[in-house]
Amino acid sequence: MNFRYINCHTHIFNVKCAPDRFIGLPVARLLASNRTALGAVHGLMRVGEVLPFLKTGTRESIEKMRSFLKIGTNRSQEGVFELLRSNYSFGPISYVALTLNMDHMGAGKALIPFSTQLSQVADLKIIYKEDLIPFVSIDPRSGSPDQLLQLVQDCIEKKAFGGIKMYPPLGFYPFDPRLEKVYAYAQEYGIPILTHVSKGGIFYQGDHIPLDFLEPISFGGDRARWTSVEGVEGAVMDFSKNVRDTRRFLGKTWGKGRRNEEFKVHFSDPRNYHVVLKKFPRLKLCMAHFGGDESISEFIDQQKAGTPDPLNWHHIICEILRSYPQTYADVSYALWQPKVWPRMSECIDPPKGLQRDISDRILFGTDYYMTIQEESEVNLVNNFRKAIGNERFKKIAVDNARQYLEHRAPLISGTIH
Amino acid sequence: MNALLEVAISMALVYTLLSILVSYITEAWQRWKRTRGAVLRKSLETLLNDPFNKNFCELLYEHPLIRAQRKNDNHQPSYISTSLFVTAITDVLRREAVRPHIFMTTDGSTHVDEPVNRNPYEDIRLGIQSLAYSPLKVQLLSLMSETTDESSLLSRFGAWYDEYQQEVSSRFKSKARVKTMIISMLVAVIVNVDSISLVHELYRNKEMRAIVVEAAEQYVMTHSAPETPAAEDSTGTTTTVSAEEELRILRERIDEVETYLGSFGLPIGWTRDACGAQITVEPGVMGFVKEFAAILKCKFTSSSFDQMVLTIIGWVMTAIALSFGAPFWFDLLNKFVAMRSGRTRPQSQNPAT
């Protein structure tokens, strides 16, 4: 066998890398800080009769949360990576491990700052070589544009990282001008970028709302403008209205009303990438989660009803993929939902008569270990693989993935023959 | 005068036996809670704290040399020797400047090449200099400025670590003292050792005193100075003790205390008390707890306020005495026995902490 499967979307950072308030639920936070308590919960779950008052669904939810925390509280990133590998009986397989810079998400301080997380992953690359393909996470708030570029160059060229990871809901827009140099570098060398495009996931938790959240600035220092939305094309992006007008939410709010969680969709909106791709049309950009399982489900329902919504995120992503030949989407996290499987099959291998234009740019990924909250990694992969068939699976996990990960950036010592 | 000395000998024996039990329980507790490992980790987090660069403590703990000290994923070493610390931390710093080269061949396979023929001293200097400005960087650079080559650097780092560990050790001891005090109090109450009534009984009862003094003399002749139990050897490294082994050792200690104290007819323990006789004993831990609660209730309802206060003061005095530790009481016992018999016994070879 002369090929290698690639899971293009996994995480191996542990709870030490996450800030204090990364885990929202106080009980979960307590369990994350105490493995003995976590073991006790497991014990109680095993003897289910002890908790007869819990409904089966609740018990399952607790068990899933426990499984998630058990992986997350592993001593090291290497431990999490080993757990990931233990789920795969087929291979050989490589894993794209997406690092995550959570230093600026306003959720407190992490025991391990991002620099240490990165350093540990770089060490793991030396040990696991082809099996591990780390992506360096970038956040425009973490340094000057030159420092960001230097970080990316250092990771790609000296530490053999495979690409760049972005997670805008942590509090930045993808068209942030501070990212311009990184985009230019990535476009020049065909370095893959993977960005979070789904309505779920973690988000900025800071107490204050910076002005550039409400009136974002784009490349060249100008106010960001919509580029391809019907009716508002060319209009300035202004989210301050949403903040002022939404006062009905309770709980932690931003001054005039809008909750952080509600606001995060502005950061992860796929329309933001029109701005980026207009300037960098050859950027190798993967929109993770394909818009998220909710958007895909809605898209399926709308298709059935014959009432397509041009603002549906999955639809927008498909349009982006059609417009920009270097853009990709991965099925991570969304693949847990059986409802989306036929749609995935359709995208990977469209029925006769439909365009095949995006089928080469769908990637396989699971979003380990975030998905443990829905399904075990083994079941997730096996069920999905069975549903779409081996050929399609090979296409997205081998051929498309290899094409996506290939880049021309020089490694410090070059390539030897 | 002789009677006072005999009472002192008897009390010293009681305190010696009980403080051995206390020190064993304290050690077992610390071992179970992995206190030493946690204190060491916390102290190194403080020593290597660098908010502007990396968590060097984490990198140190994940260094293969330190990882090898771990028994499992949850275990944290309770002791890191100076040489191990210095070797690991200098390697962590060196890697800030010098990393292995990663090569990719045309078939896509990855190869790693470790740089060779480099000057380790210069690499460490480069590693430190590559850090962003931080208090730790300033500290490391100032340590480095006092050195000229690798060996002087290693010894300077070693001295730095040792100085800090001494401070940590004293902090740990003061924390441990509080725990010892609490356990001493529990032992005093559970075993019902009321120093006031004990001294009173010993002073009053000549026959009892004679038996205890004779046993004390025997004890001194047949035992060496008590050591800290098996948890730690002289280097501070933790030895593995299973739960069964732990219970077995604890049972032995309790048996020893029972053998000595039970045979003297001293007013110690609950069952000999008037209240103890009225309680029905149930098996198991819950039975013990119920029985103990019932005895306490009976004791305090059948006593006057003055008696209650005296008993509590007696327990507190016992707890304070036990917190001095077994070596202290054994040493004192030795001196009292020598004083009484007019001879000196050679000091123990291995006085414990």
Copy the structure tokens of residue A291.
């818009």
Q: Kindly give, in sequence order, each residue whose CB lies less than 8 Å from that of residue A310, ignoring residues fewer than 6 positions away.
A: A229, A230, A316
For chain B, the structural domain boundaries read: 2-34+175-341, 36-167
Reported ipTM: the value is 0.73
Copy the structure tokens of residue A83.
């757990």
pLDDT tens digits along A273-327:
999 999 999 999 999 999 999 999 999 999 999 988 999 999 999 999 999 999 9
Confidence band of B341 (pLDDT split at 50, 70, 90): confident
Contacts of B54 in chain A (CB under 8 A): 113, 115-116, 119
Q: Kindly give, in sequence order, each residue whose CB lies less than 8 Å from that of residue A185, ignoring residues fewer than 6 positions away.
A: A149, A152, A153, A191
Contacts of B108 in chain A (CB under 8 A): 130
Chain A residue closest to B62 (CA)? A76
Contacts of A416 in chain B (CB under 8 A): 103-105, 111
Sheet strands side by side (includes A163-166): A5-10, A93-98, A132-138, A163-166, A193-198, A285-291, A327-330, A362-363
Average pLDDT over residues B251-277: 71
CA dist., res. A238 & res. A244, Å (int): 12
Do the beta carbons of residue A347 and residue A317 sit within 8 Å?
no
Cis peptide before B327 (omega within 30 of 0): no
| Residue scoring higher pLDDT (A272 or B174) | A272
Q: Give the pLDDT confidence score for residue A247 in this predicted structure.
A: 37
Q: To which CATH superfamily is domain A7-19+75-207+259-405 assigned?
A: Metal-dependent hydrolases (3.20.20.140)
Q: Which of B99, B111, B131, B136 to mutate to test the interface with A (most CBs of A within 10 A)?
A: B99
Q: Give the pLDDT confidence score for residue A335 in this predicted structure.
A: 95
Q: Which helix (H) or strand (E) holds A134?
A: strand A132-138
In degrees and rounded to multiples of 5, residue A259 shows phi and psi of -80, 150
CB atoms within 10 A of CB B119: 11
Q: Is the pLDDT of residue B89 over 90?
A: yes
Q: Is the pLDDT of residue B231 over 60?
A: no
CB contact under 8 A, B73 and A75: yes
Confidence band of A101 (pLDDT split at 50, 70, 90): very high
A251: left (phi over 0), alpha (psi -120 to 50) or beta: left
Q: Is the pLDDT of residue B321 over 80?
A: yes
Q: Give the pLDDT confidence score for residue A78 in this predicted structure.
A: 93
CA dist., res. A93 & res. A121, Å (int): 18
Burial class (CB in 10 A: 0-12, 13-18, 19+), B202: buried
For chain A, the structural domain boundaries read: 7-19+75-207+259-405
CB contact under 8 A, B58 and A129: no
Do the beta carbons of residue A138 and residue A179 sit within 8 Å?
yes
Q: Taking the CA of residue A116 as centre, how many other CA atoms within 13 Å lie in the half-sphere pointing to its CB? A: 28
pLDDT tens digits along A120-148:
999 999 999 899 999 999 999 999 999 99
Q: Give the pLDDT confidence score for residue A104 in this predicted structure.
A: 92
CA dist., res. B96 & res. B92, Å (int): 7
